[in-house]
Amino acid sequence: MHVIIIGCGKVGSRFAHVLSEEGHDVVIIDSDSNSFKALPTDFNGITLTGVPIDQDILKQAGIKTADALAAVTPSDNVNIMACQVAKEIFKVPKVIARIYNPTREHVFHQFGLKTICPTDITVDVIKSIMIGKEDIHRQTIGNSMIFYKQKKVSNINIGKKLKSMKSSENSHLFGVIRNGEFNFANPNFVLEKSDILVIANKSLS
């Protein structure tokens, strides 16, 4: 896949590295060239400095042939504008935006944009850990409701890679929480005793 990532913060840089390791063609854009220092030295994608909503910058990133775009800057406004441009002007098939303010999520949905809100996810994770049970939580992505839960790694899976774990037909291993930090589900991620799995499902079953 040819993927464009807007924003090279902690999430953007990590996401770019994971996709690049899996063999995808990745272009990451940020308005501050110093942000690219967050990328690992062996990152083999392309970095591009410029305003992420500038159509000329997006064209340099290859948006005309891009398969997907993810906007994960610290600004909800930048994320929604970048996604609108990608979806409406360049017809990028898959577009997703991270938002910080959950009360603005409906604005994204009005434009038919898929979103993920780490604020809601973080609150749910902390609540789950504090209460000490496997609660099922909800997250709206596009027009669909996704259910997810956190589950402690079983002793039998400690030391194993994520790719060795099997999911049911309707579920997906979305990521791993380690020491309070969320990590996307990299197949080569090795599980440790204190890890918490984040498992997504399109139904409550």
Tens of pLDDT, residue by residue, the chain (205 residues)? 999 999 999 889 999 999 999 899 999 999 999 999 999 999 999 999 999 999 999 999 999 999 999 999 999 889 989 999 999 999 999 998 888 777 766 666 666 677 777 666 666 666 666 665 555 555 555 555 566 666 778 888 888 888 887 766 667 777 888 887 778 888 888 899 888 888 776 554 4
CATH 3.30.70.1450 positions along the chain are: 119-201
Report residue 7 as tokens: 């924003």
**This prediction's pTM:** 0.63
Q: Assign domain 2-116 to a CATH class.
A: alpha beta
CATH 3.40.50.720 positions along the chain are: 2-116
Beta strands across the sheet bearing 46-49: 46-49, 25-30, 2-6, 68-71, 94-98, 114-116
Supply the pLDDT for residue 152: 79
Q: Which of 98, 136, 135, 94 is closest to 119 using CA atoms?
A: 98
Q: Token match 């340099």: residue? A: 60
Supply the pLDDT for residue 4: 97
Cα(79)–Cα(104) distance, rounded to whole angstroms?
12
Supply the pLDDT for residue 16: 94
DSSP calls for 108-169 = HHHTT-EEE-HHHHHHHHHHHHHHTS--EEEEEETTEEEEEEEEEPPGGGTT-BGGG----T
- What pairs with residue 190 in β-bridges? 161
Q: Assign domain 119-201 to a CATH class.
A: alpha beta
Find out whether 74 and 98 touch, Cβ atoms under 8 Å: no
Q: Is the backbone of residue 5 left (phi > 0), alpha (psi -120 to 50) or beta? A: beta
